[in-house]
Amino acid sequence: MNRIHHYDALVVGGGGAGLMAALYLARNRDLRTAVLSKLYPTRSHTGAAQGGIGAALGNLEEDHPEWHAFDTVKGSDYLGDQDAIEIMCRDAVEVVLELEHMGLPFSRTEDGRIAQRRFGGHSRNFGEGPVRRSCYAADRTGHMILQTLYQQCIKAGVTFFDEFQVMDLVISEGRTAGVVAYEIRTGDLHVFRSKAVLLATGGFGRMFAVTSNALAFTGDGPAMAFRNGIPLEDMEFFQFHPTGIHKLGILITEGVRGEGGVLRNNEGERFMERYAPTMKDLASRDVVSRAIYQEIRAGRGIGGKRYVHLDATRLGPEVVYTKLPDIADFCRTYLGIDPAYDPIPVHPTAHYAMGGIPTDVDGRVVIDPSNTVLPGLYAAGECACVSVHGANRLGTNSLLDLVVFGRRAGIDMARYCREADLPPLPSDPAGPTRERLDQLRGSRGDEVPAVIRAEMQDVMMDYVGVFREQAGLEHALERLRELRERYRHVRVQDQSRAFNTDLLETWELGGLLDLAFVTATCALNRTESRGAHYREDYPARDDVNWLKHTLAYGREDGSIEIRYKPVVITRFQPKERVY
């Protein structure tokens, strides 16, 4: 028999969104809240974010939430929902100040205020030129947000179940009734009963061969939702960050360019001047990533190879060492170079999922084109799609998304928990999970999970990356179908119960394969180019046919049904996007 725990609200994932929601839930002393995380919360990938969190504080020059909203809409290539974007950019000022009041050690201006720097796609007065909007703590802003929120959770006495991997949602009579979790240390299954559940499990960049994402970024939340019949929104939009370290894909923050660094090709040319005359190296990420590949294709990669140079030498050692110390450390450690004196070899790296579990502006999961809410289920952060990022996210807006919508979800969950009663638990809620685990453990097949994973990552990188076209996407789908079939015969070597990461990694691979299949399907389906989704066979944006969100549903037979939902447009009518 499994252990059954009783709570009002559960938070799945201990990153920025999860911890922010937990803090707001913990303010309600009458509600029982717990955070479940497959990692210790301080290991969450929020901690890897570097360059800053966007908010129009105007500490160094004039700025307004409306300008921030316009940039976000334009960055999204007009696919972002403008009501949600307006809320995010308005709340931004408040949450950044709230983080400071919690103790976050932001870098400071001469007059003691929060320091701000330039960042890609962020402009003054609706596109006139770069603006200082990114609030930063050196180049470890995400680390400081994660630490600060965790510290506040300790202060607030939040209950944590660390290294508990949530495997499934419990849905009863059309309402959320809890989760099934696997205790990593013992191998025991637990049922957590609750009225509300927040999925805050992060992204799934590990479906690609070269990524800035943590090994733990396997899309557990979206995969779980998808298996339970919940659609995934806008999965064809996956951001490639322009500057990952050559081969490794480790992120080099856009803050390097925000501080004045530039990209150069083999001829030493600052090539972004040709692609984006106004914003240059600070154009949005989709634009810069494509430009880098175009330079490489034209034979202007460094030494003819598949990378370009990010030149930070013009910043001088003082700026590099004080404002970008971690970048200097990464370069020393992994490349053996000093970025104050040597150019950094970079190429695009899979970075951020714009798509995910569809939600409204209060984090409530919505399951169809008319935004019907699945009562009690919430999602926030990278695993969710509000949608504030649309077809392409601006730098600094992911940390912002976490804290704004984590907070809003926490507040709404508290309201819901007061109003709703506890749904009955279905008989044996852990049954399906136990069966699947037993099947994985007992498989006598001879397929190796690491081999399947590597093949999936190569297929996604080669055919579902920065450039896409029909034949390549069809080939990718065929390969992914084959890999999903082979996954049924996968063999888990480790048969022990304690800390069986072999079993869990294999489990995660199953979810990643589903998400990769959805991503490729949606990419083939969308016959236009918008933001991060670039179709070489359909190079133009097509607002007449494609100004709409994709909703992908899993069918019983493993195929995918696609439906659409309109984009919310309030102030900014779609127009041509030039940087």
Partner 1 sequence: MKTLFRIQRYNPETDRAPYYQEYEVELEETDRVLDGLNAIKGHQDGSLTYRRSCAHGVCGSDAMRINGVNALACKVLIRDAGSKITLEPLLGFPVIKDLVVDMEPFFAQYRSVLPFLINDEPPPTGRERLQSIEERERYDDTTKCILCAACTGACPSFWANEQFVGPAAIVNAHRFIFDSRDRGAAERLAILNQRNGAWRCRKIFNCTQACPREIRITQAITEVQREILFRNST
- Cis bond before residue 559 (omega within 30° of 0): no
Q: Dihedral of the CA atoms 253, 254, 256, 261 (nearest 10)?
A: 140
Radius of gyration of the chain (CA): 22
**CA-to-CA distance for 554 and 565, rounded, in angstroms?**
17
Residue 496 or 545 with smaller CB distance to partner 1: 496
**CA-to-CA distance for 454 and 469, rounded, in angstroms?**
22
Q: Does residue number 110 form part of the binding site for partner 1 (CB under 8 A)?
A: yes
Shortest reach from residue 384's CB to partner 1, in Å = 21
Shortest reach from residue 555's CB to partner 1, in Å = 32
Phi, psi torsion values for 50, nearest 5 degrees: -115, -60
Residue 298 or 451 with smaller CB distance to partner 1: 451
Q: Does residue number 319 form part of the binding site for partner 1 (CB under 8 A)?
A: no
Strand pairing class (373-379; 196-199): parallel
Shortest reach from residue 42's CB to partner 1, in Å = 5
Binding track over 35-54 against partner 1, x by CB under 8 A: ----xx-xxxx-xx------
Among 125, 439, 493, 559, interactor with partner 1 by CB under 8 A: 493
Task: Outline where DSSP puts E strands in 362-419.
Answer: 364-366, 373-379, 384-385
Binding track over 219-258 against partner 1, x by CB under 8 A: -----------------------------x-xx-------
Residue 39 or 283 with smaller CB distance to partner 1: 39
Which residue stretch of 4-12, 447-455, 470-478, 556-564 sits at the interface with partner 1 (rule: CB under 8 A)? Answer: 447-455
Q: Does residue number 326 form part of the binding site for partner 1 (CB under 8 A)?
A: yes
Residues 61-90 touching partner 1, rule: CB under 8 A, are: none
Residue 54 or 178 with smaller CB distance to partner 1: 54
Residue 247 or 481 with smaller CB distance to partner 1: 247
Q: What residues contact residue 566 under an 8 Å CB cut-off, 6+ apart?
A: 369, 548, 549
Q: How crowded is residue 569: how many other Cβ atoms within 10 Å of its Cβ?
A: 15
**CA-to-CA distance for 538 and 95, rounded, in angstroms?**
40
Q: Does residue number 108 form part of the binding site for partner 1 (CB under 8 A)?
A: yes
Phi, psi torsion values for 206, nearest 5 degrees: -70, 5
Shortest reach from residue 153's CB to partner 1, in Å = 9
Among 64, 172, 214, 562, interactor with partner 1 by CB under 8 A: 214
Q: Please state the length of the chain.
A: 579
Which residue stretch of 66-74, 142-150, 301-309, 518-526 sits at the interface with partner 1 (rule: CB under 8 A)? Answer: 142-150
Query: By the 8 A CB rule, do 437 and 430 touch?
Result: no
Q: Does residue number 105 form part of the binding site for partner 1 (CB under 8 A)?
A: yes
Among 83, 494, 542, 543, interactor with partner 1 by CB under 8 A: 494
Catalytic residue among 175, 193, 206, 285: 285
DSSP character for 170? E
Among 275, 330, 378, 546, interactor with partner 1 by CB under 8 A: 330
Query: By the 8 A CB rule, do 478 and 426 touch?
Result: no
Residue 152 or 433 with smaller CB distance to partner 1: 152
Q: Does residue number 573 form part of the binding site for partner 1 (CB under 8 A)?
A: no
Q: Does residue number 317 form part of the binding site for partner 1 (CB under 8 A)?
A: no
Which residue stretch of 211-219, 225-233, 363-371, 543-551 sits at the interface with partner 1 (rule: CB under 8 A)? Answer: 211-219
Q: Can 441 be counted among the known catalytic residues?
A: no
Phi, psi torsion values for 191, nearest 5 degrees: -105, 125
Q: Does residue number 502 form part of the binding site for partner 1 (CB under 8 A)?
A: yes
Nearest partner of 385 among 89, 66, 371, 514, judged by Cα: 371
Nearest partner of 275 among 264, 296, 291, judged by Cα: 291
Q: Does residue number 333 form part of the binding site for partner 1 (CB under 8 A)?
A: yes
Q: Does residue number 489 form part of the binding site for partner 1 (CB under 8 A)?
A: no
Burial class (CB in 10 A: 0-12, 13-18, 19+), 411: middle
Q: Does residue number 133 form part of the binding site for partner 1 (CB under 8 A)?
A: no
Three-state DSSP state, 172:
strand
Which residue stretch of 295-303, 458-466, 492-500, 557-565 sits at the interface with partner 1 (rule: CB under 8 A)? Answer: 492-500
Residue 215 or 578 with smaller CB distance to partner 1: 215
Task: Outline where DSSP puts E strands in 173-255.
Answer: 175-183, 189-193, 196-199, 232-233, 238-245
Alpha carbon of 52 to those of 75, 96, 132, 271, 313: distances in Å?
A: 17, 11, 11, 25, 21
Among 1, 29, 112, 540, interactor with partner 1 by CB under 8 A: 112
Q: Does residue number 218 form part of the binding site for partner 1 (CB under 8 A)?
A: no
Residue 42 or 396 with smaller CB distance to partner 1: 42
Q: Does residue number 558 form part of the binding site for partner 1 (CB under 8 A)?
A: no
Nearest partner of 234 among 565, 475, 1, 570, judged by Cα: 565
**Single-letter amino acid, residue 20:** M
Among 17, 31, 137, 440, interactor with partner 1 by CB under 8 A: 137
Among 167, 196, 492, 532, interactor with partner 1 by CB under 8 A: 492
Residue 155 or 270 with smaller CB distance to partner 1: 155
H-helix or E-strand containing 101? helix 82-101
Query: By the 8 A CB rule, do 407 and 104 touch?
Result: no
In terms of DSSP H, where are the helices of 495-567?
501-525, 543-546
Among 318, 419, 421, 496, interactor with partner 1 by CB under 8 A: 496
Nearest partner of 13 among 50, 46, 41, judged by Cα: 41
Q: Does residue number 143 form part of the binding site for partner 1 (CB under 8 A)?
A: yes
Q: Which residues pair with 447 in a beta bridge?
A: 490
Q: Does residue number 147 form part of the binding site for partner 1 (CB under 8 A)?
A: yes
Strand pairing class (189-193; 3-6): parallel
Residue 102 or 547 with smaller CB distance to partner 1: 102
Query: By the 8 A CB rule, do 434 and 170 touch?
Result: no
Residue 368 or 494 with smaller CB distance to partner 1: 494
User: What sign does the dihedral 321-326-331-336 (CA atoms) show?
Assistant: positive
Give the pair of three-digit tokens for residue 489.
Answer: 């015969």
Among 72, 123, 134, 152, interactor with partner 1 by CB under 8 A: 152
- Which residues lie near partner 1 (CB under 8 A)? 39-40, 42-45, 47-48, 97, 100-103, 105-114, 137-138, 140, 143-144, 147, 151-152, 154-155, 185, 214-216, 248, 250-251, 326, 329-330, 333-334, 448-451, 453, 492-502
Active site positions, annotated = 285
